[in-house]
């Protein structure tokens, strides 16, 4: 562990980039990230993904699977060509597998810009579209990198066209490949790129850039012309300069590209081969040149937790502190780590920070900057930066931290409901505590992993976002936490809800230990909006429930919601309003009485409000040669699937459908046999929907 006692910011705010690398699995995201670290000097030895030692993939399970699961934030520096001052780059790795979309979402929330990596052969694949849409939702400016130009069949022009049409964005090449990128080129023919702005040929070998020389005009000139025309369309200031007939300098093009990229009007496209170390230094230059600094992203908004009014904060060290916890991780050496983005003000070691959700204050013991192989202690994390708070205990993923005198609650992150679960059991009674502690840590780190105890069977239920997610959680319990346990088979998570509206009223009145305990609670239960979660309001009529017991009532309702009224399943999208109640006299009013009355009143109301079962529905995207479409659609039908959209992409058929998760077991085997191995699919959780009667009856009988 090193330490950095510098009291001032290391980089001006304009020289900070918070970026992520987003891609379809296998496009080369890990390799690209690794090379960015290598060429910036952050690491000195390259790890090959296929050898299982890439720096960004730091959990052993990820290395084995060759996919990246947990976002790791790493800070490094790059000094672009032609400049003397460095830029601080904070890079957050994001996973490519859909079981972990939540990881992508929370990264996008704190990023200012992203590199989209595409495979020069595979092009835009369904999952690239998913992450691209997520990035659209968060308005994240992007540049694109067409990777694997060294592979046989690499086709730069086609991938650029696909980015334009499938991702519906204005992709504009700022480079052209040399020696590859046309259909039918053979392997190893990729030599380098033409920089269309500087009109230079840049060639690479294993150490990166080896030579740059002025290029021939001709074709490159034509491509440069296309770039300039696109820029003039996207940026008025540039259009004016261009139309005036004045010479357009490289600097003017860079500046216009920067404005257009940040405005989301243009996605500059570069190319290369991460594996062969080609194109990485120009990519780093492009990150600095075109992607926004925190200043370019403007104010962050939130709510004043005291007044409920809108608040905003400038990206400024002198503004009051405001930041977001975007990830919680357990570290063997440093304990509980909070990965944070500071938006305004300065987070200082030893200072107190305020948690507007819990209304509590915590003192910051240690601050850390994450590097690829070390953690550097620091005294401060400045506005616009990403770093780590070690040791804070009460913050959770999605929490805001702020100055107590200037409270603000930044918009919360929303996480999807877990769709699968498995029962987890300690191997022996002696292992119980260890297993419970491990489960608690897992749920703490990952908001899509939930742990609950089944009220009736006493079983511990671990839920997550899919089979792979559960498998990895189980793996971590065994390896990382050495928690001796047995896990059941993964199964679909069902929930309960109400579809109607009803009232409930219950009076609890009992003598316990020679003392009378009595209370009445009245409430209304009704169906909430799908996907909006539960909503509890305790607004009793005046002078009924004494204020000191409203919390007990609320807790009672919360407890009752966790175990529904049909099959003891957790309830979702239920609105509860406590309207009245009271106690016969001050002596017999107790917390237990109010809490129990609330539970019973809720159960009575929920029973009467047309309770139903909810099942998870997946969005499935099927890619197939057209001749198998008929059979595959028949199969989707038999699985209660509903087709949403059908489209042709070149000569492949794309079918988008929604299918209940319960019907998708064995799906990959089925479509393989129906299409002689030629169809493929991807899926992601879409929503919870009321299960049809036959499904409900089956679950209720089991
Ligand atoms: P990720 O799943 O997006 O993180 O992709 P990886 O970085 O793990 O790469 C997937 C596979 O593609 C690995 O076997 C890499 O070695 C390989 N790969 C990555 N970049 C290139 C490249 O530029 N050229 C070639 N030929 N292979 C590459
Ligand atoms: Mg990877």
pLDDT (tens digit per residue) in 623-682: 899 999 999 999 999 999 999 999 887 788 989 999 999 999 888 889 989 999 888 887
Pick the CATH number of 496-609 from 3.40.309.10, 3.30.230.10, 3.20.20.370, 3.40.50.2300: 3.30.230.10
Ligand 1 pocket check for 175: Cβ under 6 Å: no
Distance of CA 676 from the midpoint of ligand 1 (Å): 27
* Domain 617-701, architecture per CATH: 2-Layer Sandwich (3.30)
CB 403 within 8 A of CB 322: yes
Task: Report CA torsion sign: 435, 436, 441, 444.
Answer: positive
Q: Which residue minimizes the CA distance to atom 22 of ligand 1?
A: 148
Distance of CA 113 from the midpoint of ligand 1 (Å): 22
Rounded to two decimals, the pTM is 0.75
**Cα separation, 419 vs 28, whole angstroms:** 29
Pick the CATH number of 15-297 from 1.20.210.10, 3.20.20.80, 3.40.50.300, 3.40.50.1000: 3.40.50.300
- What is the location of CATH 2.40.30.10 in the chain? 300-410
Ligand 1 pocket check for 273: Cβ under 6 Å: yes
**Cα separation, 424 vs 624, whole angstroms:** 38
Distance of CA 27 from the midpoint of ligand 2 (Å): 8
Ligand found nearest the CA of 23? 1
Distance of CA 47 from the midpoint of ligand 2 (Å): 12
Instruction: Mark the ranges of the chain whose per-residue pLDDT is less than 50.
Output: 1, 5, 49-53, 58-71, 98, 181-185
Q: For a substitution probing ligand 1, which of 23, 47, 49, 145 has the most ligand atoms within 8 Å of its CB?
A: 49
The 10 Å Cβ neighbour count of residue 151 is 19
Distance of CA 79 from the midpoint of ligand 2 (Å): 26
Distance of CA 115 from the midpoint of ligand 1 (Å): 15
23 CA closest ligand 1 atom index: 3
In sequence order, what are the residues at sequence separation of 6 or more whose Cβ sits closer than 8 angstroms to the Cβ of residue 321? 342, 344, 345, 346, 347, 353, 401, 402, 403, 406
* Secondary structure element (H or E) that encloses residue 456, with its range: none
Using a 10 angstrom Cβ sphere, with 0-12 exposed, 13-18 middle and 19 or more buried, the burial of residue 325 is buried
- What is the location of CATH 3.30.70.240 in the chain? 617-701
Predicted local confidence at residue 479, as pLDDT: 86
- What is the location of CATH 3.30.230.10 in the chain? 496-609
**Cα separation, 253 vs 199, whole angstroms:** 12
Q: Which residue minimizes the CA distance to atom 14 of ligand 1?
A: 50
* Residue 253 token pair: 């093009």
CB 241 within 8 A of CB 252: yes
pLDDT (tens digit per residue) in 561-575: 998 999 989 999 999
- What is the location of CATH 3.30.70.870 in the chain? 420-493
Strands 366-370 and 352-355: unpaired
The 10 Å Cβ neighbour count of residue 249 is 11
What pairs with residue 3 in β-bridges?
377
Pick the CATH number of 300-410 from 3.40.50.1370, 3.30.360.10, 1.10.4000.10, 2.40.30.10: 2.40.30.10
Q: For a substitution probing ligand 1, which of 92, 275, 468 has the most ligand atoms within 8 Å of its CB?
A: 275
117 CA closest ligand 1 atom index: 3
Query: Ligand 2 is a single-atom ion; what residues have CB below 5 A from it?
Result: 30, 68
Strands 652-660 and 680-690: unpaired
Ligand 1 pocket check for 31: Cβ under 6 Å: yes
Residue with tokens 């493929």: 680
Ligand 1 pocket check for 147: Cβ under 6 Å: yes
Ligand found nearest the CA of 31? 1
**Cα separation, 507 vs 447, whole angstroms:** 37
Indicate the SS3 state at residue 661: helix
* Domain 420-493, architecture per CATH: 2-Layer Sandwich (3.30)
DSSP H helices in 480-563? 550-562
The 10 Å Cβ neighbour count of residue 648 is 9
Residue with tokens 């940040």: 262
* Secondary structure element (H or E) that encloses residue 197, with its range: none
């Amino acid at each position: 562990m090193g330490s950095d006692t510098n009291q001032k910011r290391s980089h001006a705010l304009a020289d900070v980039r918070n970026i992520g690398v987003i891609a379809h699995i296998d496009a080369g995201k890990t390799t690209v990230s690794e090379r960015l670290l290598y060429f910036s000097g952050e690491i000195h030895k390259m790890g090959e993904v296929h050898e299982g030692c890439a720096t960004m993939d730091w959990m052993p399970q990820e290395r084995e699977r060759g996919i990246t699961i947990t976002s790791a934030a790493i800070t490094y520096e790059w000094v672009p060509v032609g400049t003397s001052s460095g830029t601080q780059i904070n890079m957050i790795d994001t996973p490519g597998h859909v079981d972990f979309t939540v990881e992508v979402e929370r990264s996008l929330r704190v990023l200012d810009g992203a590199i989209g990596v595409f495979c020069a052969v595979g092009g835009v694949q369904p999952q690239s579209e998913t992450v691209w849409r997520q990035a659209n939702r968060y308005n994240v400016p992007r540049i694109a990198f067409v990777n694997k130009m060294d592979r046989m069949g690499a086709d730069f022009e086609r991938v650029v066209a696909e980015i334009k049409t499938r991702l519906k964005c204005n992709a504009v090449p700022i480079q052209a490949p040399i020696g590859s990128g046309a259909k039918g080129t053979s392997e190893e023919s990729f030599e380098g790129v033409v920089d269309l702005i500087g009109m230079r040929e840049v060639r690479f070998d294993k150490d990166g850039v080896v030579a740059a020389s002025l290029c021939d005009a001709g074709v490159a000139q034509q491509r440069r012309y296309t770039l300039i025309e696109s820029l003039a369309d996207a940026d008025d200031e540039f259009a004016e300069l261009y139309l005036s007939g004045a010479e357009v300098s490289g600097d003017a093009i860079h500046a216009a590209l920067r404005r257009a990229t940040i405005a989301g009007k243009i996605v500059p496209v570069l190319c290369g081969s991460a594996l062969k170390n080609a194109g990485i230094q120009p990519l780093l230059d492009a990150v600095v040149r075109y992607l926004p600094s925190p200043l370019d992203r403007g104010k962050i908004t939130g709510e004043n937790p005291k007044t409920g009014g809108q608040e905003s904060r400038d990206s400024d060290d002198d503004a009051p502190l405001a930041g977001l916890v975007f990830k919680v991780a357990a570290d063997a050496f440093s304990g509980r780590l909070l990965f944070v983005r500071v938006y305004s003000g300065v987070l200082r070691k030893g200072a107190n920070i305020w948690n507007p959700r819990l209304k509590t204050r915590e003192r910051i013991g240690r601050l850390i900057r994450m590097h690829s192989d070390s953690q550097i202690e620091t005294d401060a994390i400045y506005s616009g930066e990403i770093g780590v708070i070690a040791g804070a205990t009460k913050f959770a993923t999605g929490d805001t931290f702020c100055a107590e005198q200037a409270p603000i609650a930044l918009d919360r992150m929303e996480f999807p409901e877990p769709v699968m679960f498995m029962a987890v059991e300690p191997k022996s009674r002696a292992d119980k505590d260890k297993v419970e502690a491990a489960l608690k840590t897992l749920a703490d780190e990952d908001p899509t992993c939930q742990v609950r105890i089944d009220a009736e069977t006493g079983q511990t239920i671990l839920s997550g976002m899919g089979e792979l997610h559960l498998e990895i959680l189980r793996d971590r319990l065994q390896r990382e936490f050495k928690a001796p346990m047995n896990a059941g088979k993964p199964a679909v998570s069902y929930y309960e809800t109400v579809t109607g509206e009803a009232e409930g009223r219950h009076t609890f009145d009992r003598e316990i230990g020679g003392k009378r305990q009595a209370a009445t609670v009245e409430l209304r239960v009704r169906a909430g909006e799908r996907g909006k979660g539960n909503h509890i309001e305790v607004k009793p009529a005046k002078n009924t429930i004494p204020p000191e017991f409203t919390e007990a009532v609320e807790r009672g309702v919360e407890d009752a919601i966790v175990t529904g009224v049909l099959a003891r399943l957790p309830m979702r999208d239920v609105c509860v309003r406590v309207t009245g109640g009271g106690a016969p006299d001050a002596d017999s009013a107790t917390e237990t009485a109010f809490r129990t009355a609330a539970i019973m009143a809720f159960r009575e109301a929920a029973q009467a409000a047309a309770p139903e079962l909810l099942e998870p529905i997946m969005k499935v995207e099927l890619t197939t040669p057209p001749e198998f479409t008929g059979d595959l659609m028949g199969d989707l039908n038999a699985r209660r699937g509903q087709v949403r959209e059908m489209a042709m992409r070149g000569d492949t058929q794309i079918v988008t459908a929604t299918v209940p998760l319960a019907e998708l077991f064995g799906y990959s085997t089925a479509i393989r046999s129906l299409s002689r191995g030629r169809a493929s699919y991807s899926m992601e959780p879409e929503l919870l929907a009321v299960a049809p009667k036959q499904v409900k009856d089956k679950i209720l009988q089991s």
